[in-house]
Chain A
Amino acid sequence: MNVASIVIVLIGLLALLDFIRAVLGPTAVDRLVASSAISTKGIAIILLLAYANNNMSYIDVALVLALCGFVGLLALLRSLLPVDADALTEELLDRPAALVHFVGGEDEQ
C-alpha cells in the first residue's frame, strides 16, 4: 500500500461528498457545479493511477477525459441557457440595479 493509493482513496471520498451536493442541489446550476468538481477530481485520480500502476498511457486517458468533459459541460450549459438570453443580457448591462428587483425567475427542480 503505497502513498499514491492512499491519496486516490482520499480523493475518492471527497468526490463522494461532491456527489451528495449533486443529489441534494436545489437548482440545476448546483448540480452542474458539483459534477464539474467530480470531473476534476476524477482526472486527478486517473493521473495518480498512472503513477501507482507505473503505466504512463493513463495520462492520455486523463487528457481525453478533460477535453470531453469540457465539451459535455458546455453542451449542458447551452441547453440550460434561456431563450431570450441576449435580450436579458442587454437589459442587465443597461440597468444593473434591476437585479435587486427581479425575483420571478427562480427555478426549483
Chain B
Amino acid sequence: MSIPYILFFLGIFFFALTSFGLLRMPDAYCRLHAASIGDTLGFGFIVLGLLFLVSGIANCVKLLMVLGIIWTINPTTSHYVGKVALLRGNWVVLTLRGSKEK
C-alpha cells in the first residue's frame, strides 16, 4: 500500500528541485532548464502514484491523457521559450562568460 506514497514523495522532490532551481539559478536559460525538466518528471511521478489509487479503467485512461498532454506540451513550450529568449537578446550572463577568454 505504500507504493503510491513513495511516488508522491518523488514527485514532490522533483517539484522542489524545480522551485529551488527557479530561485537559485543565475540565468534565464538555467531557470528554463530546471523548470522544464523538473516539472515534467515530477508531474509524471504524481500521476503514476494516482494511477495506483484511482478506481475505474476510464479514470485511469483520462489520467494518462492528461499525462500525455503535459509531456507533449512542456518540452514544446520550453523549446519555444528558449527561442524567444534568444531572439530577444536575453543572454547577457552567457555573453559575459563567453567574452572572458578573449
| Chain A interface residues (CB < 8 Å from chain B) | 3, 7, 10-11, 14-15, 17-18, 20-21, 27-30, 32-34, 36-37, 40-41, 43-44, 47-48, 50-51, 56, 59-60, 62-63, 66-67, 70, 73-74, 77, 80-82, 85, 88-89, 92, 99-100, 102-107
Asked whether A37 and B73 contact (CB < 8 A) given A14-B18, A30-B31, A107-B89, the answer is no
| Chain B interface residues (CB < 8 Å from chain A) | 5, 8, 11-12, 15-16, 18-20, 22-23, 28, 31-32, 35, 39-40, 42-43, 46-47, 50, 53-54, 56, 59, 62-63, 65-66, 69-70, 73-74, 77-78, 80-81, 84-92, 94-95, 98-99
Asked if A36 and B95 sit within 8 Å, CB to CB, the answer is no
Asked if B35 and A36 sit within 8 Å, CB to CB, the answer is yes
Task: Name the prevailing secondary structure of the A interface residues.
Answer: helix
